[in-house]
Amino acid sequence: MVPRAGGSLTADWERFFEWKRVEREDEPRRVSLEVILRGVAEPGRLLDLLENFVLFSEHKTGYVKILAQNHQFLGVNNAIGSMLQARSAGHGRAGVFWQTQGSGKSLAMVFFAQKVLRRVPGNWTFVVVTDRTELDDQIARTFKETGAVSDADSKSCHAGSGAHLRQLLTANHRYVFTLIHKFQTPEVLCDRRDVVVLTDEAHRSQYDTLALNMRSALPNALFIAFTGTPLIAGEERTREVFGDYVSIYDFQQSVEDGATVRLFYENRTPELRLQNPTLNDDIYTLVEAAELDENQEQRLEQELGRQYHLITRDDRLDTIAKDIVRHFLARGFQGKAMVVSIDKATALRMHDKVRTHWQAERSRVETELAKARSYASKAEPDAVADLGDRLRVLTTTDMNLVVSPAQNEIEQMRQLGLDIAPHRKRMNEEALDDKFKDPDDPLRLVFVCAMWLTGFDAPSCSTIYLDKPMRNHTLMQTVARANRVFPGKHSGLIVDYANVFASLEKALAIYGKGTGGATPVRDKRELVEDLRRALDAALVYCLGHGVDIPAIAALPTGNLSRLTALADSVDRLIAPDPVRKDFLAHERLVHAPYQAVKPDPVVTEFAARVACLAVIGAEIRQRTNPGPPAISAVMFQINNLLDASIEADGFRIPTVREQPGPPYGVIDISAIDFAALAKRFEKSQRKNVEIERLKLAVRAQLEKMVQANPTRVDYPCPRTLL
């Protein structure tokens, strides 16, 4: 195979990326050996990549090596070129850097600043501007983890006020982190010419006025805006401050490159429907205003009046909570999930209701499992295993509220019959953000209203339960929480309870206007069609090799004829190597969308045929995997499926260490009786399986022989095998 992708030697294969452009973002995107060689291996670019586009990020598990992707390499170099032009022209507008959420925008900011410090002469200071404390902390943490900012500086270079900002700039810090709200007046804070302002998400509504103040406060600075969503009509002032685009990497490009996963939309608006068709439009402005100051939540409730209470009706929330429990437990790729509510009180109520239904479901499953495991039960083993898996998730899953603090919130919530104290205690004492980001931590469900909706990356988060009216950038930034790449994650899912589809369509009409204009969020029905096409292709491929999957699926489960048919299918698809690899590729292409579609009832249409493919694929992997077979979570796996009927003479290799001698699956080739082996192959009905088993054993023994005798001098290796 000709290499066409690049990545760090320590990275998983999923993190390798294709290099599709050489010099410019607007050149045709091509995947070829020529492009990656010219784009990466040309001496100047290779040295640039090694010097300026490699970072080492420190985490609890150790250091992670980060290599810039194609879009980051081109975008950052474009931004530096634009910055130098703005400096020469004297206007300071270095441009707008639009690279979609999840594609590494924060890391691009680090690449940009670090390369300027290394390669551009000057006593540079970078002022990193955000509009929320949590975003300020998050971006500062990124700079700290990658070594751009020391631990001491990360604590001391946060501006607490305009006066403190002036002091920090006078003290000549390399990096200064501040909120946009520090620029309340247009007074001059610093007139240095070697100051670069990096703003994150520079087109929010509050930037209209404050950005002009910022420009006046730093009259000789260079301004560049980093954003994950495009500028829209009404944001002309953003261009006045920052200029035009210097880099565009939209959602569709990101998905095509594998930098993010696809997003799918599912409308699950409860049957209790809102009768006012303009409800969302009526409350958009109030909701967005509340985001500016979360203490305005009480004012929001008062002004929304009856409409607010329609959204927060107890029976409606109870219906949604029950559906969230059912939906999350049935997800194929479960991962983590965020439940987004309209305000703090509603988020807390939703948490309490979900926990109530969660406990009820746990009790039900415990009862069902006890019955299924009883002596008199005739339950299918697969059904018992499914109940066991469901109970494991129910008993291990942690959930919590994540909201910003406010004065007197405990008393305010108590007046509403809610207890926020345990949640606030955990938020203060535990690193809930790290727990949620850790895929192995049991904190799988969080309930939010504003926090973590922007600037927060949890790659294993696969589902957003949205019960809050939103629009434009806020909506797109929220749904993008589910688009991060993670092993086993086919796509992200947006479950809509607030009927924001019309707003989503409007946002997508803007959001998709990158280079391709494609809609970044797809209807879930498209995912079903993806599954249908992948399954049809797999069935055609199998039929071409004498395996009729629909016919096998029609046979009764556990029937001997079904087991025999599956065993025959394994033999036909396990060899030669190209056939096996193609089949396993088809099986993976079916498995991923099948897991993503769940728990939609439409999966029942595909379940039997997908189960057959999964069993065959699992058995092939088990028989061709070096060493003892691993325990896997493949759905409908049949333990030792073919052992009982693998040869006509009933020969069986032990699955455990039943007697002294070599471990499972290992044969001493120096003691092979080739005459007996020939007779055995004459009798075997499934020669491909036997060949693969023998190949595996020979390979394992040869590896031991080579390790014991690397020079292979006078070693009695049987020549009949060569």
pLDDT digits (tens, 9 = 90+) for 605-660: 888 899 899 889 988 888 887 543 333 333 333 333 333 333 333 323 333 334 44
Helix 43-52 to helix 105-119 angle (10° resolution) is: 110
Which pLDDT score is estimated for 645? 32
How many CB atoms lie under 10 A from the CB of residue 69?
27
* Higher-confidence position of 373 and 520: 373
For a pLDDT cut of 70, what percent of the chain falls above it? 73
When pLDDT is averaged across residues 475-503 and rounded to a whole number, the result is: 82
Grade residue 292 by pLDDT with cuts at 50, 70 and 90: very low
Q: Which of 231-240, 267-276, 332-341 has the lowest mean pLDDT?
A: 231-240
For a pLDDT cut of 90, what percent of the chain falls above it? 29
Q: Using CA atoms, how far apart are residues 556 and 425, in angstroms rounded to an integer?
A: 54
Mean pLDDT score of the chain: 78
Cross-strand bridge partners of residue 66: 55
Q: In the β-sheet with 398-401, what is the strand arrangement from edge to edge?
A: 398-401, 443-448, 336-341, 461-467, 491-496, 262-267, 521-523
Q: Which of 170-184, 415-429, 439-453, 586-600 has the lowest mean pLDDT?
A: 586-600
When pLDDT is averaged across residues 559-571 and rounded to a whole number, the result is: 86
Which pLDDT score is estimated for 401? 96
In DSSP notation, 145-160 reads HTTSS-HHHHHH-B--
Which pLDDT score is estimated for 521? 60
Do residues 248 and 98 make contact, with C-beta atoms less than 8 angstroms apart?
A: yes
Q: Using CA atoms, how far apart are residues 247 and 384, in angstroms rounded to an integer?
A: 54
Q: Using CA atoms, how far apart are residues 705 and 634, in angstroms rounded to an integer?
A: 34
Smallest CA-to-CA distance from 85 within 98, 94, 76, 97 is with: 94
Helix 607-624 to helix 524-544 angle (10° resolution) is: 60
Grade residue 105 by pLDDT with cuts at 50, 70 and 90: confident
How many CB atoms lie under 10 A from the CB of residue 80?
20
Which pLDDT score is estimated for 19? 87
- Give the residue carrying structure tokens 């309490």: 352
Q: Is the pLDDT of residue 43 over 50?
A: yes
Q: Is the pLDDT of residue 445 over 80?
A: yes
Q: What is the pLDDT of residues 320-349, one digit of tens each?
A: 999 999 999 988 788 899 999 989 999 999
When pLDDT is averaged across residues 73-82 and rounded to a whole number, the result is: 94
C-alpha R_g of the chain: 30
* SS percent in the chain: helix, strand, coil, step 5: 50, 10, 35
Q: Is the pLDDT of residue 74 over 90?
A: yes
Q: Using CA atoms, how far apart are residues 434 and 708, in angstroms rounded to an integer?
A: 46
Q: Using CA atoms, how far apart are residues 99 and 106, in angstroms rounded to an integer?
A: 10
